[in-house]
Structure 1
Amino acid sequence: MPGGHTQTLRPFLWRASKLYPDTEVVSRNHDGMSRQTYAEYEERTAQLANALDEHGIEQGDRVGTFCWNTDRHFEVYFAAPSMGAQLHTINPLLPDEHIRYIVDDANDEVIFVDPSLAEKIAGAAEGAEEFEGVDLIVMDDSPVEAIDGPVYEEFVAGHDTDYDWPELPSEQPAGMCYTSGTTGKPKGVEYTQSMLWSHTMMSQSPQGIPMEDDDVVMPVVPMFHVNAWGMPFTATAGGAKQVFPGPSPDADDLARLIEEEGVTITAGVPTVWLGLMEYCEDNEVDLSTLDQVIVGGSAAPESMIRWFDDRGVEVLHAWGMTEMSPIGSVAHLKSDLEDEDYQTQLDKRSKQGIMVPGLEFKVIDEDGNRIAWDGEEFGELYVRGPSVTKEYFKRPEANEEDFEDGWLKTGDVVSVDPDGYIKIVDRAKDVIKSGGEWISSVELENAIMAHEDVSEATVIGVPHEKWQERPVAFVVPTEGADREGLDDEILELLDEEYPKWWLPDAVEYIEEVPKTATGKFSKKDLREQYTGSVELHEGSAPEEAAPESDD
Structure 2
Amino acid sequence: MPGGTDMTLRSFLWRAENVFPEREIVSRTHEGIHRYTYAEYGERVRKLASVLDERGYGEGDRIATFAWNNHWHHEAYFGVPCQGAQLHMINILLPDSHIQHLVSDAEDKVVVVDPVMLDKLEGAYDEEAFESVEQFVVMGDTVPETSLEPVTDYESFIADGDPDYEFPDVDEEQPAGMCYTSGTTGKPKGVEYTHKMYWAHTMSIMTGELGITNTDVEMPVVPMFHVSGWGRPFATVAAGAKTVLPGPNPEPADIAALCENEGVTKSAAVPTVWRGLLQYARENDVDLSELEYVLSGGSSTPKGLMRDYRAELDVEIVAGYGMTETTPVTHVAELKPGMEDLDEESRVDVRAHAGLISPGLEMKIVDDEGEELPWDGEALGELLMRGPWVTTEYFNAPEKTEARVTEDGWLRTGDIARIDEDGYVDIVDRVDDLVKSGGEWISSVEVENRIMGHEDVAEAAVVPVEHPTWDERPVAFVVAMEDVEDLEGLEEALRQRVAEEYPKWWTPDVIEFIDEIPKGSTGKFSKKDLAEQYVDDEIRGEVEEAAPGDR
Taking structure 1 as the reference length, what is the TM-score of the superposition?
A: 0.96
Q: Check whether the contact 1:140–1:153 (CA below 8 A) recurs between aligned residues.
A: yes
Q: 2:160 corresponds to which residue?
A: 158
Structure 1 residue 539: deviation in Å? 7.0
1:479 counterpart (455, 478, 482): 482
Aligned AA for 1:493?
R
The one of 376, 384, 390 equivalent to 2:378 is 376
- The Cα offsets for residues 57-77 of structure 1, whole Å up to 9 and x where unpaired, read as 122211100000000000000
The match for 2:458 is 455
Counterpart mapping for 1:113-512 below 5 A: 113-146=113-146, 147-148=148-149, 149-206=151-208, 209-310=210-311, 311-404=313-406, 405-482=408-485, 483-512=487-516
| 1:39 equivalent in alignment to 2:17 | no
Larger mean Cα displacement after TM superposition, 117-126 or 508-517: 117-126
Match of 1:519 in 2: 523
CA contact (8 A) 1:101 1:130 kept: no
One-letter code of the match for 1:139? M
CA contact (8 A) 1:431 1:441 kept: yes
The letter for the 2-side match of 1:442 is V
How far apart are residue 15 of structure 1 and its match? 0.4
| Conserved? CA contact 1:82–1:166, under 8 Å | yes
Q: What is the aligned partner in structure 2 of residue 536 from structure 1?
A: 542
Q: 2:50 touches 2:83 (CA, 8 Å); kept in 1?
A: no
| Separation (CA, whole Å) in 2 of partners of 1:129 and 1:231 | 31
Instruction: Give the match's secondary structure for 1:496.
Output: helix
Measure how far apart 1:195 and its partner are. Answer: 0.5
In structure 1, C-alpha distance between the alignment counterparts of 2:252 and 2:443, rounded to whole Å: 31
CA spacing shift, 1:122–1:134, aligned 2, 3 Å: farther
Determine helix, strand or coil for the equivalent of 2:109: strand
In the aligned structure 1, how far is the partner of 2:127 from the partner of 2:452?
45
2:107 touches 2:133 (CA, 8 Å); kept in 1?
Answer: no
Q: Output the CA distance in 1 between the equivalents of 2:357 and 2:364.
A: 11
Shift, 1:116, TM fit: 0.7
Report SS of the residue matched to 2:416. Answer: strand
8 Å CA contact retained: 1:501, 1:542:
no
Matched with 1:548 is: none
| Closer, same or farther: CA 409–249 of 1 in aligned 2, 3 Å | same
5+ residue gaps, structure 2, are none
Deviations 1:495-530 (A, max 9, x none): 211111000001111111111111111111112223
Contact 1:433 1:469 in 2 (8 A): yes
Residue 541 to residue 377, structure 1, CA distance change in 2 (3 Å): farther
Taking the aligned partners of 2:498 and 2:488, their CA distance within structure 1 comes to 18
Letter in 2 for 1:503: T
Q: Percent identity?
A: 52
**How far is 1:137 from its partner?**
0.7
- Using a 3 Å threshold, how does the CA distance of structure 1 residues 289 and 539 change in structure 2: closer, same or farther? same
In 2, are the aligned partners of 1:471 and 1:502 still within 8 Å (CA)?
Answer: yes
From the superposition, tell whether residues 424 and 215 of structure 1 become closer, same or farther in structure 2 (CA, over 3 Å). Answer: same
Alpha-carbon distance between aligned partners in 1 of 2:56 and 2:252, rounded to the nearest angstrom = 41
> CA RMSD for the aligned pairs?
1.5
Which residue identity does 2:460 align to in structure 1? Answer: A
Distance 1:433 1:481 in 2: 32
Are the structure 2 counterparts of residues 286 and 541 from structure 1 closer, same or farther at C-alpha, using a change threshold of 3 Å? farther
SS of alignment partner, residue 394 of structure 1: coil
The one-character-per-residue Cα deviations of 1:195-253 (angstroms, maximum 9, x if unpaired) are 0000011111215x411111011111000011110001111111000000000010010
For the residues of structure 1 that align with 2:4 and 2:61, how far apart are their CA atoms?
Answer: 22
Q: Distance in 1 between matches of 2:260 and 2:350?
A: 30
Residue 336 of structure 1 deviates from its aligned partner by 2.7
**Counterpart amino acid of 1:10?**
R
User: Contact between 1:474 and 1:508, CA under 8 Å: does it hold in 2?
Assistant: yes
Distance 2:524 2:239 in 1: 29
Cα deviation 1:284-338 (Å, max 9, x = unaligned):
1111010111100001100111111112211111000111000010000111322
CA distance in 1, matches of 2:437, 2:251: 40
In structure 2, distance between residues paired with 1:355 and 1:361: 7
Aligned to 1:549: none
**Matched positions, count:** 542
- Whether the aligned pair in 2 keeps the contact of 1:216 and 1:265 (CA below 8 Å) is yes
Compute the displacement of 1:367 (Å). Answer: 3.3
Q: 3-state SS of the aligned residue for 1:123?
A: helix
Return the alpha-carbon distance in structure 2 between the equivalents of residues 293 and 24 of structure 1: 21
Contact kept, 8 Å, 2:111 with 2:133, in 1: the verdict is no
Where does residue 68 of structure 2 map in the other structure? 68
Residue type of the alignment partner of 2:452: M
Q: Mean Cα displacement is larger for which, 311-320 or 33-42?
A: 311-320
Q: Which amino acid aligns with 2:240?
A: G
Partner Cα distance (1:12, 1:180) in 2: 29
C-alpha distance in 1, partners of 2:238/2:481? 41
Structure 1 portions without partners, runs of 5+: 546-551
Q: Which amino acid aligns with 2:475?
A: V
SS at match of 1:336: coil
Q: Is the 8 A contact 2:214 2:240 kept in 1?
A: yes
One-letter amino acid of the structure 2 residue matched with residue 191 of structure 1: Y
> Which residue identity does 1:180 align to in structure 2?
S
Greater alpha carbon shift after TM alignment, 83-92 vs 339-348: 339-348
SS in 2 for 1:459: strand
User: Per-residue CA shift, 1:71-126, capped at 9, x if unaligned?
Assistant: 00000000000011101100011111111111111111101000011111112114
**Shift in Å, 1:538:** 4.8
Q: Displacement, 1:532? A: 3.8
* Aligned-residue offset at 1:128: 3.5
